[in-house]
Amino acid sequence: MIDIPLTHILILGAILFSLGILAVITKRHAIVVLMGIELIFNAATLNLVAFNRYQPDIMGGQVFTLFVMVIAAAETAVALALVLKVYQYFKTVNLDQVRQPSED
């Protein structure tokens, strides 16, 4: 019988969350920062699903996991549209080089 302890799942969620934070902090490519945010979302959904096992009749964890996925998809769509606009305007997606260009 597969019975994964809750602690293991929570530790995996903590690892994913920390790696997502690390990607958001250290990377300077806008799309990689978006990927880090996706990792953070996935850590949250992993915890929701893990805790959902202890309330199987209410299903709140799984339903909210679906909501989180919808929000993540919408956020990714809007953020990628913004990234493409920034790329058209600044010709780069490096977050350190995105500044207001001089008027010349």
Residues of span 23-42 touching another protein by CB under 8 A: 23, 25-32, 34-36, 38-39, 42
- Please report whether residue 87 would count as binding another protein according to CB under 8 A: yes
Question: What is the maximal distance between C-alpha atoms in the chain?
Answer: 69
User: How would DSSP label each residue in 45-93?
Assistant: HHHHHHHHTT-TTT-HHHHHHHHHHHHHHHHHHHHHHHHHHHHHHHS--
Q: Indicate the angle between helix axes 60-90 and 30-52, nearest 10 degrees.
A: 180
Cβ distance to another protein smaller for residue 96 or 103: 96
Among 40, 44, 59, 104, binds another protein (CB under 8 A): 59
Minimal distance, residue 54 CB to another protein, in Å: 5
- Please report whether residue 103 would count as binding another protein according to CB under 8 A: no
Minimal distance, residue 85 CB to another protein, in Å: 6
